[in-house]
């Protein structure tokens, strides 16, 4: 019987009785399929690993580019930091460690008098701690002309220590008996805030 005829009459449930060429051919096919499946699945695994490595490589390249750029600008950052520290120290020098309300009253009074104003009220409130500094609100009430009040505010802003003005309110001052009704004097109420640097034990 030829191999072709034997293949046509092959009983898969009784392969053991097939001729040797059929047995060896069948084993060769099964072996080839096993090797092909192994190669396929192993290759798929390797392709996935390759994709992961490529993504990781792209991420590392981006990280390297960023760090290389930062390294190139390191000296610039150091210079900027030194400049910021110098500016910060300059600001701290404007924040005394003591509130020194008495000298501030003298400064504000002299500024007011120099601009022809009358200081009606100078009342400090409770000091408020805020981080590394303390804030002292002071209720102010002064009277004078509009231009003199503007000069006064400008003069307070130019004081050696930091003083900021808040809640400004202007009202026309009512004329007293015997005064001209067209009096151009205004009454200004405001909250002046001054600041001091807190020591570490106070923070």
> What tens digit of pLDDT does each residue of 28-47 get?
777 788 887 777 777 777 77
Top-confidence residue, 117 or 180: 117
- Judge whether 109 and 159 are in contact, CB under 8 Å: no
Kindly tell me if the per-residue pLDDT of 174 is higher than 70: no
pLDDT of residue 139: 92
Q: Percentage of the chain with pLDDT > 90?
A: 5
- Judge whether 140 and 122 are in contact, CB under 8 Å: yes
Top-confidence residue, 203 or 82: 82
Element (DSSP H or E) covering residue 198? none
Neighbouring-strand partners of residue 171: 187
pLDDT of residue 73: 84
The CATH homologous superfamily of the domain defined by 101-197: Ribosomal protein S6/Translation elongation factor EF1B (3.30.70.60)
Dist. CA 78–CA 115, nearest whole Å: 45
Neighbouring-strand partners of residue 172: 186
Supply the angle between the helices 146-157 and 101-114 in degrees, to the nearest 10: 140
pLDDT of residue 95: 65
> At 40, phi and psi to the nearest 5?
-65, -55
Kindly tell me if the per-residue pLDDT of 108 is higher than 80: yes
Dist. CA 123–CA 141, nearest whole Å: 9
pTM: 0.49
Give residue limits of the domains in the chain: 1-72, 101-197
pLDDT of residue 190: 92
> At 190, phi and psi to the nearest 5?
-160, 165
Dist. CA 141–CA 122, nearest whole Å: 7
Kindly tell me if the per-residue pLDDT of 151 is higher than 70: yes
């Amino acid at each position: 019987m030829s191999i072709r005829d034997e293949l046509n009459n092959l009983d898969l449930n009784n392969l053991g009785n097939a001729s040797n060429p059929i047995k060896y051919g069948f084993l060769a096919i099964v072996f080839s399929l096993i090797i092909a499946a192994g190669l396929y699945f192993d290759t798929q695994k390797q392709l996935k690993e390759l994709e992961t490595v490529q993504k990781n490589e792209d991420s590392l390249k981006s990280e390297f580019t960023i760090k290389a750029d930062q390294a190139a600008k390191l000296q610039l950052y150091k210079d900027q930091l030194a400049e910021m520290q110098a500016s910060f120290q300059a600001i701290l020098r404007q924040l005394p460690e003591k509130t020194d309300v008495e000298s501030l009253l003298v400064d504000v009074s002299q500024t007011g008098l120099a601009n022809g104003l009358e200081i009606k009220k100078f009342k400090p409130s409770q000091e408020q701690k805020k981080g590394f500094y303390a804030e002292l609100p002071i209720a102010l009430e002064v009277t004078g002309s509009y231009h003199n009040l503007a000069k006064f505010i400008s003069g307070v802003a130019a004081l050696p220590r930091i003083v900021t003005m808040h809640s400004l309110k202007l009202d026309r001052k009512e004329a007293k008996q015997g005064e001209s009704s067209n009096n151009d004097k205004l009454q200004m109420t405001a909250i002046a805030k001054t600041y001091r640097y807190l020591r570490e034990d106070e923070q």
